[in-house]
Chains A and B, each alone.
Chain A
Amino acid sequence: MSVARVVVFSCLFPAVFCWINTNVERKIDISNAIVRATISATVQNDGTTASDELEWVIPASNMTRFTKNSMKVAKVEVSLTCNEQKGENFWCKVKLNKAVEPGASVTIKHRVCSGGVLRPLPPTVKQSESQLVDYLDNVYFLSPYPTKRQTTTVKLATPSVEKYTKVPAPVTHTNDNVVFGEYKDVTPMSSAPLRVHSVNNKPFVTARTLKRVIEVSMWGNLAVEEWYDIENIGAKLKGTFSRLDYQKPGARAPSSFTDLRASLPADADDIYFRDDIGNISTSRVFPADSLTKDVIFTQRFPLFGGWKTRFYFGYNLPLDNVLTHNGAVNRLKVPYASPVRDLWIQDMTVEVVLPEGVPRPIVRVGGKVTENFEIVHRSTYLDYSGRTVVVMHDQMLSTPERNEDIEIEFVFSSTSLLWEPMYLISAFMVLFSSIIFFGRVVS
């Protein structure tokens, strides 16, 4: 009876066809500074005709914090367009790759990552205290369709949890998981507050700005340099920082961090780590596996909540492994975001410096062609007209999810390589011939 009413109710919404969520499993990982959630929803076409479109509701407050928002059906990406905001929520349209017959069902995997969601509570902690964070969400999966069965698992950083929502039952806390549900027959657009207040001493590191400069030298080198404005956005340090307490044997400063760990390609070479006032001599490199090399960048000082620092690092890569070519068409493939792990990047600029004289290239980010870049020209060593620089801006990213490849396809013939040595040869020729001239003729 109630189910029937619910269906009628849901059909009142502008969706042309009606759907039912037969099973929804949400896994929300709050064990890091970045919250990563996977919603896998099995939806059934409850209408009368085949349909490939359904509604997906996302709270507007979450929308602005997403660093990744992707949806897949059977490992194939489907499009999710969110243009329409009604009240507090975005009503997004999911366009499936093929229509679902009435009565048939399909499993949609929605993966979102967001930064700045976990709120430190209390907002300030002492040097020796642990940091607690508060996570707020909806107990139920927000959907315009009725949900038959759903569970939500919240994964914690440590088993230690201060407080969590206990209604509606059942809510169970086992080890480092808090499980909400299973709830049956949930009406559309139901909501009830979910709150988990737990200990999380993971580095709450964010890059306020990140600037990456990737420079291609057709002589066989790829130079990467990355500038970071780093801040610890965890609970702010209360009182003073005492080096004595920090150094004492057995001392704890759990909410601070000094190390950032990055994974560079295994053939990365000449790694340097500096800031505005020179070299930072504390970094360690060790091979992780056959493809990557781990670097630990130890900062000059421990970063407590609210503390900032600024640094840059860079390395060289042999061009062979990142550049393929077919005649004069070259294809450069490099990671998009930062190699630093678990980093929330608020504002990123990527500059790819291509050789001199390259016309506007084709740029793909994560396999999709983008026009969202500008071209500037910059003159460096032995340049005449300036190198072509692809400048891309992006906001709200997190690693490693957004470390998809950028592919840049540009036209550059290998004979153009000879220009620069020619400049040098002619410059020296002019120099020597003028010396000969003055030596022989003038004197």
Chain B
Amino acid sequence: MSDREKLSTDEEMEQNETQERNETLMRYVALGLIFLIAFSVRLFSVLEYEAIIHEFDPWFNYRTTKKLVDDGIYDFYSWFDVDVWYPLGRIVGGTIYPGLMVTSMIFSKILHFFNFPVDTRIICVFLAPVFSGVTAMVAYWFTAEIWNVQAALLAAFFMALVPSYMSRSVAGSYDNEGVAIFALVAVFATFVKTVKTGSLMWCCVCVLSYYYMVNAWGGYIFIANLLPLYVAVMLLVGKYSLRLHVAYSAFYVLGTLMSMQIHFVGFQAVQTGEHMAAAAVFFFLQAYGFVNFVRQHLTPAMFASIVWSLVIGLGSIAGLAASVGVATGYIAPWTGRFWTLLDPTYAKTNIPIIASVSEHQPTTWGTYFFDLHLLAYALPVGVFFCMKKGTDAAIFIVVYGMATVYFSGVMVRLMLVLAPAACILGGIGLSEMLTRFLEACLWPAKTSTSPGDRPKKNRRSDDKDASNEQITFALRWTFLFGLIWVMMTYTMHCTWAGAEAYSSPSIILSMRTHTGQRIIYDDYREAYQWLRTNTARDAKIMSWWDYGYQITGMSNRTVLVDNNTWNNTHIATVGKAMASQEDISYQIMKKMDVEFALVIFGGFAGYSGDDINKFLWMVRIAGTLDSDIQESDYMSRTGNYVMDASGGKAMLNSLMYKLSYYRFAEMKMGENTPEGYDRVRNTEIGVKNIKLEYMEEAFTTEHWILRIYRVKPESNRKPTPVPSKPLVSSFATAPK
């Protein structure tokens, strides 16, 4: 090699190195920006409203976090909460996934150690946005493992913005999912890494992530079933490898042991039906490995006979064990939520309480587009490329994607689990397409077949080719710009969704007048603050379970039922109290020591999320307790759910109706409407002269959204009727 040549290669290497360095720098800058975007796009709720905990479950999480931060971990684990489910109470420490609270506590401890007195509330509000940024980073790493860094950058960008994930992780949405999606992606990423390398070290990282996931969210069950599914698929397509064997076996054993450390999971991890698939696949994998090992040392005939006897023997033993387990109750049957996943109609017919939750409803097509936008279309493209490549990692993401596409169709809530898969698959699909089109546009010579390869053709056809080329050239550019434009609209859509759709704290209602002025309806907090400051500390508040977490969180008062719907009978009792006539309700409320009953009423403000619109669920759930309560009694003769005079008799006599419309008939809402005009149902109410015998109005908020009634103490014995004359005379004459 001449000196000159050597010099040029050195230069080239140097150039390559600089280019690589520049690329790395660009990548880190891009990742930093993605993190920033993921964080800041979730702050709309704080800017529009304030740094406040949102909705329902976050209030419980916030309350438990405060308990944990203030009283320490031991008090937290042995916490028996007497303020909820009166008179039953709830063992909070043993019935929650503490991951979220412990995460906040760690943040709080670190900050306080460095003398940053940051309020627990602030940590809770901003935890989810921070974790979203981290999730985007993990998604980057995961996609880089599956595909390449180009696709990974796109996937991270999608992950940062995807509305489906944003819906659960905006600032203030302090929910398990906020940290759990991070853990989920981390488990999958490390598992794929383990399968790729067969390294036990990576498997331990994976198990630790899994441990965090089990700590954080009940959705860990999805991982516990997806990984076996993946292994089964790998075996089916004949891609068994020792790496896979090591990865899954180590994961199952360690992961199960780790998950059993969580109070709430405990022995469920080896006993309940939901975990059985993982165990079955584990044993099957061992058998498969063993059989493979044996096969290498035997003739095919001997091998076949051994296999058959083994299959029959082991199969019958396993079947017997399973049936004995189920019969003795050692293996718990599948829970209702799990059944719902397999049979979407299960809940509707069997468990109204699960069906009544809006996030357990099947997903509509609109939701797919709204929550995934571009990714809904890019996902199949990604699946195509992954199938084409067919590596272990690519098959994993396909299995993950396909499974979640099915589950998300069953329950709206599971859209969240689909989001990472959609981002990664979409990232891969779009990245591949972009790469192809970019190459085709910028270096057409490289990609289109070179002239030398082309078969000889005459001049006319060459002309035609040239015009064809022009068309394809134009098409390529159009397509490229189309892709870029679509990605821009994705950004716009996500920002808009983050700002408008998912940033409402739902306890502060904001409306705009026709002049564009913003009005705040702060009725929830008005009533909760009233309860907090103007009732006895041990007052029991009866409300529908939706508001349980908020009342304990904001009012610090005892509730009968809350969003942790663990006791169907108790909820049905409250439903019955709401659905019955006042005197029957009074008996129930007295038995439950209820001092205040709270209803949400939207007829005045035009707020449609009120109790009357939820009322049929109360009736249905109450119906599971008392067969006298029939849904049909609450309907009009024509079978409609109406509030006017034609409404069902039971409806018009129910406590809910009375409490909602008490003295509402004296209110004239507008010039052209009659008195007592319900603005939600757009109807004039049926019973106007509502008298309450056992309750009295205690407080109603400014826009009538929350109405609180005091349960009157039991009245004195009614005065004995004045005795009639003959009785007196006979009485007078009696002693003699």
Residues of A within 8 A of B (CB): 239-244, 275-281, 300-301, 307-310, 379-383
How many contacts A-B (CB < 8 Å)?
70
Stretch among B136-144, B530-538, B632-640, B682-690 lining the A interface: B530-538
User: Could you say which of B522, B529, B532, B554 contacts A281, with CB atoms under 8 Å apart?
Assistant: B522
> Is residue B528 within 8 Å, beta carbon to beta carbon, of the partner chain?
yes
CB of B115 within 8 A of CB of A381, answer yes
Q: Tell me the complex Cα distance, A381–B666, Å.
A: 56
CB of A279 within 8 A of CB of B50, answer yes
Q: Tell me the complex Cα distance, A279–B50, Å.
A: 7
- Given known A-B contacts A243-B701, A243-B704, A277-B554, A381 and B529 have beta carbons under 8 A apart: no
CB of B698 within 8 A of CB of A300, answer no
B708 shortest CB reach to chain A, Å: 10
Closest to B532 in A: A276
A-contact bits for B548-561, CB 8 A (1 contact / 0 none): 00000010000000
Query: 15 interchain pairs (CB within 8 A)?
Result: A240-B696, A242-B663, A243-B700, A244-B700, A276-B529, A276-B554, A278-B525, A280-B522, A300-B522, A300-B529, A301-B699, A307-B534, A310-B532, A380-B116, A381-B117
> Is residue B610 within 8 Å, beta carbon to beta carbon, of the partner chain?
no
- Given known A-B contacts A279-B50, A381-B116, A243 and B529 have beta carbons under 8 A apart: no
Residues of A within 8 A of B701 (CB): 243, 301
A420 shortest CB reach to chain B, Å: 11
Q: Tell me the complex Cα distance, A1–B517, Å.
A: 81
Q: Tell me the complex Cα distance, A380–B116, Å.
A: 6
CB of B667 within 8 A of CB of A277, answer no
Besides A240-B697, A278-B52, A381-B115, 11 new A-B residue pairs in contact (Cβ under 8 A), listed by A number? A241-B697, A241-B700, A242-B700, A275-B529, A279-B50, A280-B522, A281-B522, A301-B530, A301-B702, A307-B533, A381-B116
Which among B525, B667, B710 has the greatest number of chain A C-beta atoms within 10 A? B525
Closest to B707 in A: A243
> Is residue B439 within 8 Å, beta carbon to beta carbon, of the partner chain?
no
- Given known A-B contacts A281-B522, A300-B522, A380 and B117 have beta carbons under 8 A apart: yes
CB of A244 within 8 A of CB of B534, answer no
Closest to A242 in B: B697
Residues of B within 8 A of A (CB): 50, 52, 115-117, 520, 522, 525-526, 528-530, 532-534, 554, 663, 666-667, 696-702, 704, 710
CB of A309 within 8 A of CB of B52, answer no
Q: Tell me the complex Cα distance, A184–B526, Å.
A: 57
CB of A277 within 8 A of CB of B115, answer no
CB of A380 within 8 A of CB of B115, answer yes
B405 shortest CB reach to chain A, Å: 39
CB of A277 within 8 A of CB of B525, answer yes
CB of B528 within 8 A of CB of A277, answer yes
Closest to A382 in B: B115
A248 shortest CB reach to chain B, Å: 8
Which among A278, A381, A383 has the greatest number of chain B C-beta atoms within 10 A? A278
Q: Tell me the complex Cα distance, A278–B505, Å.
A: 12
CB of A301 within 8 A of CB of B526, answer yes
Which among A243, A279, A281, A382 has the greatest number of chain B C-beta atoms within 10 A? A243
Closest to A307 in B: B534
- Given known A-B contacts A242-B663, A383-B115, A309 and B702 have beta carbons under 8 A apart: no
Residues of B within 8 A of A276 (CB): 529, 532, 554
Residues of A within 8 A of B696 (CB): 239-240
Q: Tell me the complex Cα distance, A301–B699, Å.
A: 10
Closest to A380 in B: B117
Q: Tell me the complex Cα distance, A279–B48, Å.
A: 12
Residues of B within 8 A of A279 (CB): 50, 52
Closest to A277 in B: B554
Among all A-B residue pairs, the 4 with the closest Cβ atoms: A243-B700, A379-B115, A300-B526, A308-B533
Q: Tell me the complex Cα distance, A281–B520, Å.
A: 8
CB of B529 within 8 A of CB of A309, answer yes
Q: Tell me the complex Cα distance, A308–B529, Å.
A: 10
User: Could you say which of A243, A275, A308 contacts B702, with CB atoms under 8 Å apart?
Assistant: A243
Residues of B within 8 A of A308 (CB): 533-534
